[in-house]
């Protein structure tokens, strides 16, 4: 059955994640769609909600082809796709130039969404990473790899819907995976929602503010 909308998907995901409440987790959402799914999760778990902003580092003349990714944090972490870099002969100068542009975009977005609040400390914490769905898994892979470098106590991947084979590739990067609907082939994430409107910046800010007023810091 499709989800009515992201809020309903988040409520169902929250019930599945309830056993983690006693671990006092922190919930990290991938904006923008992941935020409105993560908000009910954070409320159910009595957990703080923050963002995990991931930006693809695209090949200079083929921006859709990822040669890496950069992940938000007090010290942002860069994940490199060395096979693509080597195959296309990308120089270090080219890589750094694109990476720095994406870092600037991360800073801009954190300023818009979080009023430049610092990235939370996650060392030793149970961290639950939430998005509204997974297609190829490339963004989530970079997110999990970067978070693991920050030494969380436990790293949980939680999504309403994802293809089975993609989740199987991501499982080794997390301590646990929670997914409501496993699909053989996902296609478009929006096909699994009745309402899948684009989430606005204002909605992201509002969801974060509402949870922050209710949850511990």
SS3 state of residue 205? helix
Query: Chain-centre distance of CA 208, in angstroms?
Result: 15
Contacts of 130 (CB under 8 A, 6+ apart): 10, 13, 27, 28, 29, 30, 34, 37, 38, 41, 158, 159
Q: Give the per-residue pLDDT at 170.
A: 95
CATH of 6-52+118-214, one of 2.40.30.210, 3.40.50.2020, 2.40.50.430, 3.40.630.40: 3.40.50.2020
Q: Give the per-residue pLDDT at 75.
A: 85
Instruction: Starting at the earlier edge strand, list the strands of the sheet with 176-183.
Output: 49-51, 26-29, 126-130, 154-163, 176-183
Among residues 82, 56, 60, 58, the alpha carbon closest in space to that of 69 is found at 56
Contacts of 182 (CB under 8 A, 6+ apart): 161, 162, 163, 164, 167
* φ, ψ dihedrals at 189, nearest 5°: -60, -40
Q: How would you write the pLDDT of the chain (217 residues) with one tens digit per residue?
A: 689 999 999 999 999 999 999 999 999 999 999 999 999 999 999 999 999 999 999 999 998 899 999 998 878 899 999 999 999 999 999 999 999 999 999 999 989 998 878 888 999 999 999 999 998 888 899 999 999 999 999 999 999 999 999 999 999 999 999 999 887 666 688 889 999 999 999 999 999 999 988 755 4
Q: Give the per-residue pLDDT at 64.
A: 86
Q: Give the per-residue pLDDT at 186.
A: 61
Which DSSP state fits 193? B
Residue intervals in the chain for CATH 3.40.50.2020? 6-52+118-214
Yes or no: domain 54-114 corresponds to CATH 3.30.1310: yes
Q: Give the per-residue pLDDT at 215.
A: 57
């Amino acid at each position: 059955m499709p989800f009515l909308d992201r809020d309903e998907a988040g409520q169902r995901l929250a019930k599945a994640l309830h056993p983690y409440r006693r671990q006092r987790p922190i919930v990290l959402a991938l904006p923008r769609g992941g935020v409105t799914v993560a908000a009910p999760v954070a409320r159910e778990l009595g957990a703080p909600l923050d963002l995990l902003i991931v930006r693809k580092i695209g090949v200079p003349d083929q921006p859709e082809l990822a040669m890496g990714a950069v992940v938000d944090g007090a010290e942002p972490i860069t994940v490199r796709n060395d096979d693509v870099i080597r195959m296309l002969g990308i120089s270090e100068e080219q890589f750094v130039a694109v990476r720095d542009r994406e870092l600037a975009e991360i800073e801009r977005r954190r300023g818009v969404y979080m009023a430049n609040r610092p990235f939370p400390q996650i060392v030793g914490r149970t961290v639950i990473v939430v998005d509204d769905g997974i297609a190829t898994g490339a963004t989530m892979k970079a997110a999990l790899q970067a978070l693991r470098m920050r030494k969380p106590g436990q790293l949980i991947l939680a999504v309403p819907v994802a293809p089975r084979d993609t989740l199987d590739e991501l499982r080794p990067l997390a301590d646990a995976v929670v997914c409501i609907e496993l699909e053989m082939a996902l296609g478009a994430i929006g096909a699994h929602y009745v309402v899948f409107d684009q989430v606005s910046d204002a909605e992201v800010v509002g969801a974060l503010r509402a949870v922050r007023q209710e949850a511990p810091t």
